[in-house]
């Protein structure tokens, strides 16, 4: 019954998504100024047209020039060729394989314009892609960003006067400039050049990130390598993001901000004293150094990143490796303030979950991030759950209850 209801929800959600996409398409087609396709490289040299921001004219070129300028500062010397031509050119090192991942963030689904500071949306957009590279043990090579934004997000957000300013002058206070502040700061921290992308006006704010990484040939960490007897580890702590999101919702509620998209004009002001509590949600840290360490030392048999929640992601690992797992609830490194449920199902912690042979010696921490043994891998059997959770009160099946993409 439950699964039938879930399937129904899935179908109706899919139908709703298709209808929404169709509606978005209709809106885009109905626009008086049909948004031009704007690749960063090509449109730098676009023909001269005079019109307003978002209509394919000078404003857009100024915006693209700003993005190009800022991206260039962070990519010097790291690319064969970055923004400025039809394609970027990457030069992988000998003996490496490329790892490629893409991740879509949509307003109202993955972030809320009224709740999340633009810097956080930019940071999280890149962090999601970098975390996938970390899960494979790859080093970042380049990022490609495609943005669909309502036109008001490319204008200044401070004061009525500044709203009327032309593009270059309003740039520093615009939502998109602050979005790039967040994205490029994290890119710089992980030596990841922004090498290109696409830009369009859109009724919904959305950001798609493509990450290219490189990993020594045959050494990438896969979900499929776990064996019965392996030990199960996580980096960092769990539940911090879900706990931070719950706190963010409380602050938004107290400020009278609903979840509605229309509230984006009233952005939440986050008090300084709440910043640390919200940081795991607003600014999660992808574990690139830890993933690369595991590859360098051939220490992991399987790995993935915790984006959807431990219960869901561990089920993915078990399915791909054809194994079962047992988790010790008492061993979980629960983030201060978070609940057991948030640690198990919350998602968006972007820590690494990995398995290692019992004979593998691991340090207590890698690059300052602690490692914790939380359970072990067992052979799957029909009379036991795929994942068993051991608590002080006995054992129970741990069902996947994390993020579902179409629920
Ligand atoms: Mg992942």
pLDDT in tens, the chain (407 residues): 334 444 434 433 334 433 343 333 333 223 323 333 333 233 222 222 222 233 345 566 777 777 777 776 555 556 777 777 788 888 888 999 999 999 999 998 899 888 899 999 999 999 999 999 999 999 999 999 999 999 888 875 554 444 444 445 556 678 898 999 999 999 999 999 999 888 888 999 999 999 999 999 999 999 999 999 999 999 999 999 999 999 999 998 888 876 654 445 678 888 888 889 999 999 999 999 999 999 999 999 999 999 999 999 999 999 999 999 999 999 999 999 999 999 999 999 999 999 999 999 999 999 999 999 999 999 999 888 999 999 999 999 999 887 654 44
CATH number assigned to the domain covering 221-407: 3.90.650.10
The CATH number corresponding to 35-216 among 3.30.1330.10, 3.10.290.10, 3.40.47.10, 3.40.640.10 equals 3.30.1330.10
pLDDT of residue 155: 73
Rg over CA atoms, the chain: 22
Pairwise CA distance, residues 286 & 349, whole Å: 9
Question: What is the distance in A from the centroid of ligand 1 to the CA of 306?
Answer: 7
Prediction pTM value:
0.81
Question: What is the distance in A from the centroid of ligand 1 to the CA of 375?
Answer: 21
Question: What is the distance in A from the centroid of ligand 1 to the CA of 191?
Answer: 20
Which tokens hold the place of 343? 């640690």
Question: What is the distance in A from the centroid of ligand 1 to the CA of 51?
Answer: 41
Among 27, 394, 380, 391, residue whose Cα is nearest residue 203: 27
Question: What is the distance in A from the centroid of ligand 1 to the CA of 31?
Answer: 36
Pairwise CA distance, residues 22 & 14, whole Å: 12
Residue 201: its H or E element: strand 194-201
Question: What is the distance in A from the centroid of ligand 1 to the CA of 223?
Answer: 10
pLDDT of residue 283: 97
Question: What is the distance in A from the centroid of ligand 1 to the CA of 244?
Answer: 21
66 and 184 Cβ atoms separated by less than 8 Å: no
Question: What is the distance in A from the centroid of ligand 1 to the CA of 54?
Answer: 33
Which tokens hold the place of 181? 């502040």
**Helical packing angle, 275-282 and 240-254, nearest 10°:** 120
pLDDT of residue 73: 59
pLDDT of residue 209: 97
pLDDT of residue 63: 74
DSSP characters for 240-260?
A: HHHHHHHHHHHHHHHTT--S-
pLDDT of residue 116: 92
pLDDT of residue 57: 52
* Residue 329 DSSP symbol: G
Q: Which residue ranges make up each domain of the chain?
A: 1-30, 35-216, 221-407
């Amino acid at each position: 019954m439950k699964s039938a209801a879930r399937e129904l929800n899935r179908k109706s959600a899919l139908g709703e998504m298709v209808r929404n996409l169709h509606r978005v398409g209709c809106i885009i087609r109905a626009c008086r100024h049909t948004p031009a396709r704007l690749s960063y490289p090509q449109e730098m040299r676009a023909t001269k047209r005079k019109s307003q921001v978002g209509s394919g004219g000078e404003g857009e070129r100024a915006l693209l020039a700003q993005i190009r300028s800022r991206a260039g500062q962070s990519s010097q010397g790291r690319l064969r060729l970055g923004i400025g031509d039809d394609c970027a050119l990457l030069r992988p090192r000998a003996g490496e394989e490329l790892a490629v991942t893409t991740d879509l963030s949509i307003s109202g689904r993955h972030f809320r314009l009224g709740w999340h500071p633009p810097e956080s949306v930019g940071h999280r957009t890149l962090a999601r892609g970098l975390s996938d590279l970390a899960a494979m043990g790859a080093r970042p090579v380049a990022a490609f960003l495609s943005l669909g934004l309502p036109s008001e997000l490319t204008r200044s957000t401070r004061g009525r006067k500044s709203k009327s300013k032309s593009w270059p002058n309003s740039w520093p206070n615009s939502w998109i400039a602050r979005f790039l502040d967040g994205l490029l700061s994290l890119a710089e921290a992980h030596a990841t050049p922004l090498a290109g992308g696409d830009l369009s006006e859109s009724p919904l704010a959305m950001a798609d990130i493509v990450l290219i990484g490189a990993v020594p040939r045959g050494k990438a960490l896969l979900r499929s390598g776990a064996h019965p007897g392996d030990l199960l580890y996580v980096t960092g702590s769990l539940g911090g993001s879900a706990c931070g999101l719950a706190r963010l919702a409380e602050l938004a509620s107290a400020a009278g901000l609903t979840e509605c998209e229309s509230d984006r004009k009233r952005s939440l002001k986050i008090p300084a004293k709440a910043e640390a509590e919200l940081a795991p949600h607003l600014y999660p840290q992808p574990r690139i150094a830890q993933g690369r360490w595991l590859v360098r030392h051939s220490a992991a048999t399987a790995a993935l990143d915790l984006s959807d929640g431990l219960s869901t992601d561990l089920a993915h690992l078990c399915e791909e490796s054809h194994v079962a797992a047992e988790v010790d609830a008492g061993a979980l490194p629960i983030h201060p303030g978070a609940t057991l449920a948030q640690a198990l199902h919350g998602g968006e912690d972007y820590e690494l979950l990995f398995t290692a042979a019992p004979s593998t010696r691991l340090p207590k921490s890698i690059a300052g991030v602690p490692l914790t043994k939380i359970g072990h891998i067992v052979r799957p059997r029909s009379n036991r759950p795929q994942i068993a959770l051991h608590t002080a009160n006995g054992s129970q099946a741990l069902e996947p209850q994390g993020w579902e993409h179409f629920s």
